[in-house]
């Protein structure tokens, strides 16, 4: 009896061991399959970035590249006061100059999904502010991807320098990165933009003076801009001339004005800058090249003269000229 019981026990233990061993070999395959099985996901991308006071504006999509699957949605969020768009164009086509009067450029597309690279889609204007010179702005944009491929998109306002790509794989493909990874990219990119912007801002201040004020600035790479008059407050004397200079634009078509007094109904030149004693005076939109990048104003009367950029005063782009009666001895 004892011998038969021992034999049965050994047989039972062997059977249990074989089952456990088989489960051990099968387990990795089950886990691997679970890693590629997931529901449609919504991914977050930031549109633009800025310093806390808005003086430095970043012209980037963060992250610039994101990897998703068919059926997933990307949610773009405006993260700056500077306006941007998320615009998918025909393959190989670059953005045309931005036209704020063209509804095709400023109005969201009616479709909420996109099937193939080359399909045209547009977010409308994305910003945390509303601009009187633009149609209604939006704070976010969603688009669901129903086909595979590399979907390239641009900001129509800032051109080919502001570019992003959504890489779409077949449904169920394992994701190479998590949302946490992309969030870290955003925080790192924003911090680098603010750091580089502060250095650029400081350099521009050293090149400015009471008689030479930069009307904002754009870095050489076209990735960040200073949305301030540099210097913000200046002191001069009666008869002095100030050169308001938009030559630090590096070809970026950002519109600026230098506008004293009541704001005109449209951004056209108003008044005589050669003998300014107060009242309405405006440069109109300053061009980004040629002699018109300079707006020179001679002050013929003592006083304090505040001025603005008609497009960006809501972002803090305002200045002040203090004119005193005579030169110091």
Query: H/E/C letters for each residue in the chain?
Result: CHHHHHHHHHHHHHHHHHHHHHHHHHHHHHHHHHHCCCCCCEEEEEEEEECCCCCEEEEEEECCEEEEECCCEEEEEECCCCCECCEECCCCCCCCCCCCCCHHHHCCCCCCEECCCCCCEECCCECCCCCCCCCCCECEEEEEECCCEEEEEEECCCEEEEEEEEEEECCCCCCCCCHHHHHHHHHHHHHHHHHHHHHHHHHHHHHCECCEEEEEEECCCCCEEEEEEECCEEEEECCCEEEEECHHHCCCCCCCCCEECCCCCCCCCECCCCCECCCCEECCCCCCCCHHHEEEEEECCCEEEEEECCCCHHHCCEEEEEEECCCCC
42-192 and 208-324 agree in CATH topology:
yes
- The residue with tokens 């003076």 is 209
pLDDT at position 202 is 96
pLDDT at position 132 is 76
Average pLDDT on 63-73 reads: 98
Question: Band of the pLDDT at 328, cuts 50, 70, 90?
Answer: low
Q: State what percent of residues in the chain have pLDDT above 90.
A: 77
Residue closest to 145 by CA, chosen among 166, 124, 123, 163: 166
Question: Band of the pLDDT at 327, cuts 50, 70, 90?
Answer: low
Residue 5: pLDDT over 60 = no
Average pLDDT on 105-121 reads: 97
Q: How many CA atoms lie within 13 A of 15 on its CB side?
A: 6
Average pLDDT on 50-76 reads: 97
Q: How many residues does the chain have?
A: 329
Domain ranges of the chain: 42-192, 208-324
Class for the domain spanning 208-324 = mainly beta
Domain topology for 42-192: Immunoglobulin-like (2.60.40)
pLDDT at position 326 is 73
Average pLDDT on 9-13 reads: 35
pLDDT at position 16 is 35
Average pLDDT on 310-319 reads: 94
pLDDT at position 11 is 37
Of the candidate ranges 35-49, 83-97, 311-325, the one whose mean pLDDT is the lowest: 35-49
Average pLDDT on 77-102 reads: 94
Question: Band of the pLDDT at 60, cuts 50, 70, 90?
Answer: very high
Q: What is the pLDDT of residues 120-144, one digit of tens each?
A: 999 999 999 988 777 889 999 999 9
pLDDT at position 8 is 38
Residue 41: pLDDT over 90 = yes
Q: What is the pLDDT of residues 170-229, one digit of tens each?
A: 999 999 999 999 999 999 999 999 999 999 999 999 999 999 999 999 998 889 999 999
Mean pLDDT of the chain: 88
C-alpha to C-alpha distance for 201 and 77, rounded to whole angstroms: 26
C-alpha to C-alpha distance for 114 and 148, rounded to whole angstroms: 10
In order of 60, 158, 201, 247, 328, the CA distances from 218 in angstroms are 13, 11, 10, 9, 36
C-alpha to C-alpha distance for 115 and 125, rounded to whole angstroms: 22
Question: Band of the pLDDT at 300, cuts 50, 70, 90?
Answer: very high
C-alpha to C-alpha distance for 205 and 194, rounded to whole angstroms: 16
Its pTM stands at 0.82
């Amino acid at each position: 009896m004892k011998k038969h019981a021992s034999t049965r026990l050994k047989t039972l233990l062997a059977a249990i061991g074989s089952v456990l061993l088989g489960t051990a070999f099968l387990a990795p395959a089950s886990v691997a399959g679970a890693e590629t099985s997931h529901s449609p996901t919504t991914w977050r991308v930031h549109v633009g970035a800025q310093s806390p006071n808005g003086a430095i504006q970043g012209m980037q999509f963060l992250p610039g590249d994101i990897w998703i699957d068919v059926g997933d949605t990307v949610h773009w969020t405006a993260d700056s006061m500077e306006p941007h768009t998320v615009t998918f164009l025909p393959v190989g086509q670059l953005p045309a100059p931005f036209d704020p009067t063209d509804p095709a450029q400023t109005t969201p597309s009616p479709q909420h999904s996109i099937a193939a690279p080359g399909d045209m889609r547009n977010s409308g204007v994305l910003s945390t502010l509303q601009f009187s010179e633009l149609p209604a702005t939006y704070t976010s944009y969603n688009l669901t991807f129903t086909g595979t491929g590399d979907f390239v998109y641009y900001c129509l306002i800032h051109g080919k320098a502001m570019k992003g790509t959504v890489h779409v794989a077949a449904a169920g493909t394992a994701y190479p990165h998590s949302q946490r990874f992309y969030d870290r990219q955003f925080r790192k990119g924003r911090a680098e933009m603010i750091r580089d912007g502060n250095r650029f801002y400081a350099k521009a201040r050293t090149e400015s003076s009471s008689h030479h004020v930069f009307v904002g600035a754009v870095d050489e790479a076209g990735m960040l801009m200073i949305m301030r008059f540099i210097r913000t407050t200046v002191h001069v004397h009666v008869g002095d001339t100030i050169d308001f200079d938009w030559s630090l634009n590096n070809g970026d078509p950002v519109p600026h004005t230098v506008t004293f007094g009541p704001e005109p109904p449209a951004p056209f030149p108003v008044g005589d800058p050669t003998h300014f004693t107060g009242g309405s005076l405006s440069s109109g939109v300053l061009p980004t090249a040629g002699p018109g990048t300079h707006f020179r104003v001679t002050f013929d009367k003592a006083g304090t003269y505040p001025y603005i950029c008609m497009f960006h005063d809501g972002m803090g782009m305002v200045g002040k000229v203090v004119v005193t009666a005579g030169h110091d001895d």
